[in-house]
Amino acid sequence: MLGHVKFVPTRTRYAAFVLLVALLASLLVAAFRVRVEGQTRRVEIAMDYNDFLTLAHAYDYNPEAFLVELRRAGLTSLALAEELGSAVGTSKSAYVTSGVGLLDAARISPLADPTLAALVRGNRIHPNAVYLLVYDRSTFKRFMQQLPLHFERSGIRVLHASLPYVISVRTQIDYFNTVALGIPHREIALTRKLGLFVIPRFQNDERLRRPQMEQMIRDLHAGKWISTIIFFGMRNQVLGYPDHIKGAAAVFKTHAFNYGEIETYDPSQVQKGNVSLARLIPGRIVRVQAIAKPELDKLTIPEIVARYELGVRERNIRVVYLRPISHRYRGLSIEKSNVEMVRDIATALKSQGFKLGRATPIPLYRGNNAILVGLAALAVPSIFVLLLDWYGWYRRRLAAAAYGLTLLLYLAGVATHHDIIARSLIALAGALLFAAAAFTAIGPAFYEEPARGGGTQLLRSLRWTLVATGVAMLGALVVIGVMSSPLVMEEVEPFRGVKLLLATPPLAALLLYVLTDRFNARVGDAKAAFAAPVRIYQLLVGIAVLAAGLFVLMRSGNQSEIAPSAIELWLRAHLTEWLSVRPRFKEFLLGFPLLMLLPALRGTHRRAVGILFALGIGVSLGDMIDTFSHLHTPVLVAVLRIFNGLVLGAIVGAIAIWIYRSIVRRYAPPASS
């Protein structure tokens, strides 16, 4: 595995054997994971009903007929939010006013409702109360079920028990406006009539316990039509936060509902209690992608479709949460434009092999077996021991300590129910060590003389590129074997240390290149080299390299600190269109070309640029493994990303080799080492 090593010394054969077992365990985890990812490809296309209704009323569309067209286009679900107190009065079903407002209105003109008029005449209107007039029985029944969930029963009074119903609630109007009063029954009935799934959107109240949560579900009368529950509210909390999350989890388990975890890149936008709830219901979580209305208004339908398709295919999104667009597409009406948007999303998803229906979460599967994961974790101390031996640093006590610490960390994580943290640390160590091993594997390429023939050189360069890529992919396999938990695959629990995975491999490659004798650097005395005077051009190169490293780190992550340029966005979009899965720029424009070019360089040229090549190759090796640390991306998609990058990078590298050899033949003196 490590380049020109033809055998494993007797003293480390045990490490090679354990490494083989660990890699087989990781491969088994990967196989189980690929299988389950292939079985969880059903996606919901949901429409926010409140936003939809606002648009339908604004353009005088028939909501039911509009929804029928959307369903035929591919819509599967309606997201129905609880009615807030502030929304009472926006329909014909009810009206609300404060006691003070009622008294003020009575001073201007007589009250039409006899019950309220009698209360005013008898001086029985309480200024610290709100008064509800309800004009249909289903709404009255819903209010009487919901109000006791949020207010003291002693403060709720039915003043008139027949149409029109009158209810008084002892509270302030500003507080009442923020209270959720359940989902209107007419919305549930319409959703069921059209054959769409119901996505209830509940707002948390810190006083809600499990019995009240169960009642909220029963009051929907939607049964099997409920698919995914998504929470909302100004306080951005999951149901049961902070003290009754276990009760909320019990409701999900009892009814087998999906919990919709909203994808966000800003930690401040993550719903409070999200991780605590998700940890209690692994296997019941689906990722939800939504586009905010202000951004949605700036996008064309093809851009919207592409964004959702990318999320479903590459980020394990299983609920496409839509808001209606209010701009025309191809000269169509607003109504037809929205129908076309849904149809295009449905068509794009089906073309990628996804099915439409109730969203399928990542279940608890055999790949997350504690024994398999524990065996996979043993790859980390094993590659560490082999690296120690390869560089002549092997000590038996270091090997024993590596295995002991790995086992202790893993078992402690399992025993304390913090195994994800332990697994993240082990996987990060493995990723860094395998990146170092991949760089070590190409050590002989730093000594190899360039081939005389161009074809022979291309084959040699490709062989070394495949060697480095293969060892790096073993590191990626270990990350998969250790980290493939449903909670991580749904991105509830993150892989910790992504920044380190990008920053450490190039630094490790640099240190190995300079401080060891395995890469033909001819540094000599390392202390003397570090104490040598620095020339201005060397200082400028160092500053440029440091700036490039900081740029890479700042650009890492889904929401980078530096926005990509318009040209880069254009190139990203077209690479995705051409290749289905876009390779990473750091790989096909930097790492793979450098790997290809390295063996083609003459010895003197190789040493002149050796430090820069070590840094660039190190960046690429870390980036390759980092591709698989994004566990919400399906394994086959990550493999295709690496393959596309390898093919493009080999082409770029081949061009670089041709240019280099042409220049050398024309201008350089005969080769010398």
Question: Tens of pLDDT along 256-313?
Answer: 999 999 998 777 889 999 999 999 999 999 999 999 999 999 999 999 999 999 999 9
The predicted pLDDT at position 352 comes to 94
Domain span holding position 495: 10-38+364-667
Please tell me the least confidently modeled range out of 95-109, 136-150, 509-523: 509-523
1 domain-assigned: no
Higher-confidence residue of 365 and 549: namely 365
Helix (H, G, I), strand (E, B) or coil at 288: strand
Residue 375 shares a structural domain with residue 352: no
What confidence score (pLDDT) does residue 6 get?
Answer: 47
**Residue 555 in this model has a pLDDT that exceeds 80:** no
CATH value at residue 325: 3.20.20
- 178 close to 85: Cβ distance less than 8 angstroms: yes
Q: Could you tell me if residue 4 is inside a domain?
A: no
Verify that 161 and 278 share a domain, yes or no.
no
pLDDT at 608 (0 to 100): 85
pLDDT band at 239 (very low <50, low <70, confident <90, very high): very high
Supply the pTM of this predicted model: 0.89
- 255 within 8 A of 210, measured Cβ to Cβ: no
Residue 244, CA distances (Å) to 179, 213, 660 in order: 18, 10, 67
Question: CB count, 10 Å around CB of 157?
Answer: 14
- Give buried/exposed letters for 399-417 (b at 16+ CB in 10 A, else e): beebbeebeebbeebeeee
Give the pLDDT band of residue 530 (cuts 50, 70, 90). low
Mean pLDDT of 112-133: 93
**672 falls within a domain:** no
The whole-number pLDDT of residue 614 equals 92
Flag whether pLDDT at 216 surpasses 80: yes
Q: What is the maximal distance between C-alpha atoms in the chain? A: 112
| Predicted confidence band of residue 31 (pLDDT cuts 50, 70, 90) | very high
Residue 56 confidence (pLDDT) above 60: yes
Specify the length of the chain in residues.
673
**Residues 577, 662: one domain?**
yes
Same domain, 498 and 374: yes
Span of 113-122, 145-154, 277-286, 660-669 with lowest mean pLDDT: 660-669
Q: Walk across the sheet containing 130-134 and list its strands.
A: 94-98, 130-134, 165-169, 156-160
Asked if residues 635 and 33 have their Cβ atoms less than 8 Å apart, the reply is: yes
Residue 574 lies inside a defined structural domain of this protein:
yes
3 has a pLDDT exceeding 50? no
Could you give the CA distance from residue 205 to residue 193 in angstroms, rounded to a whole number? 30
From 313, 328, 356, give the residue that closes a domain.
356
User: Of 166-175, 237-246, 501-510, where does mean pLDDT reach its minimum?
Assistant: 501-510
Q: Is the pLDDT of residue 560 over 90?
A: no
Q: Are residues 456 and 369 in the same domain?
A: yes
The residue among 43, 52, 59, 58 whose CA lies nearest residue 78 is: 52
- In a shared domain, residues 501 and 369: yes
Which carries the bigger pLDDT value, residue 308 or residue 547? 308
Q: Which of 356, 388, 411 is the last residue of a domain?
A: 356
In the predicted structure, residue 61 carries a pLDDT above the cut 50: yes
Domain assignment present for 5: no
- pLDDT value of position 652: 96
- The angle subtended at Cα 620 by Cα 616 and Cα 621, nearest 5°, is 115
Give the end of a domain, one of 308, 331, 356: 356
User: 57 and 150 in one domain?
Assistant: no
Q: What is the mean pLDDT of residues 159-188?
A: 95
Compute the distance between CA of residue 637 and CA of residue 367 in angstroms, rounded to an integer.
18
User: Rounded CA gap, 597 and 664, in Å?
Assistant: 13
- For residue 364, CA distances in Å to 208, 280, 368, 486 come to 29, 12, 7, 7
Spatial distance between the Cα atoms of 536 and 253, rounded to a whole number of angstroms: 66
Which residues, at least 6 apart from 403, have a Cβ–Cβ distance to it below 8 Å?
Answer: 378, 381
Instruction: Label each residue of 169-202 as H, E or C.
Output: ECCCHHHHCCCECCCCHHHHHHHHHCCCEEEEEE
For residue 228, the cross-strand partners are 258
Distances (CA, A) of 344 to 17, 327, 354: 52, 16, 14
- Residue 588 located in a structural domain: yes
pLDDT of residue 315: 94
**Closest by Cα among 429, 431, 430, 409 to 420:** 409
The total number of structural domains in the chain stands at: 3
The per-residue pLDDT for 124 is 93
Token representation of residue 202: 């509940």
The whole-number average pLDDT for the span 467-491 is 96
Same domain, 503 and 549: yes
Helix, coil or strand: residue 378: coil
Report whether pLDDT(634) > 90.
yes
Res 189 pLDDT > 90: yes
Q: How far apart are CA 572 and CA 53, in angstroms?
A: 36
Q: Compute the average pLDDT of residues 65-91.
A: 95
pLDDT at 556 over 70: no
Q: What is the pLDDT of residue 573?
A: 78
Strand locations in 291-346 (E): 317-322
- Among 242-256, 447-461, 495-509, the range scoring the smallest mean pLDDT is 495-509
Task: State the average pLDDT over residues 155-173.
Answer: 95
Integer Cα distance of 422 and 493 in angstroms: 12
With pLDDT > 70 as the criterion, what percentage of the chain qualifies? 91
Same structural domain, 251 and 147: no
Confidence at residue 1, expressed as pLDDT on a 0 to 100 scale? 45
Residues 414 and 555 grouped into a single domain = yes
pLDDT in tens, 320-349: 999 999 999 999 999 999 999 999 999 999
pLDDT tops 60 at residue 475? yes
pLDDT band at 546 (very low <50, low <70, confident <90, very high): low
Do 404 and 431 share a structural domain? Answer: yes
Residue 66 has pLDDT above 70, yes or no: yes
Q: Is residue 369 part of a domain?
A: yes
Same domain (yes/no): 33, 46: no
Name the band, by pLDDT with cuts 50, 70 and 90, for residue 223: confident
Q: How far is CA 402 from CA 8, 93, 105, 333, in A?
A: 19, 69, 79, 66
Q: Establish if 186 belongs to a structural domain.
A: no
Q: Cα(661)–Cα(655) distance, rounded to whole angstroms?
A: 10
Instruction: Give the pLDDT band of residue 494 (cuts 50, 70, 90).
Output: confident
The SS3 of residue 285 is: strand
CA distance 362 to 375: 23
**Confidence bin at 529 (pLDDT 50/70/90):** low
Helix, strand, coil abundance in the chain, percent, nearest 5: 60, 10, 30
Enumerate residues 6+ apart whose C-beta is below 8 A from 359: 42, 43, 44, 227, 228, 258, 260, 286, 318, 319
Report the percent of the chain where pLDDT is more than 90: 78
Q: Report which residue type is found at 244.
A: H
Indicate the DSSP class of residue 235: T
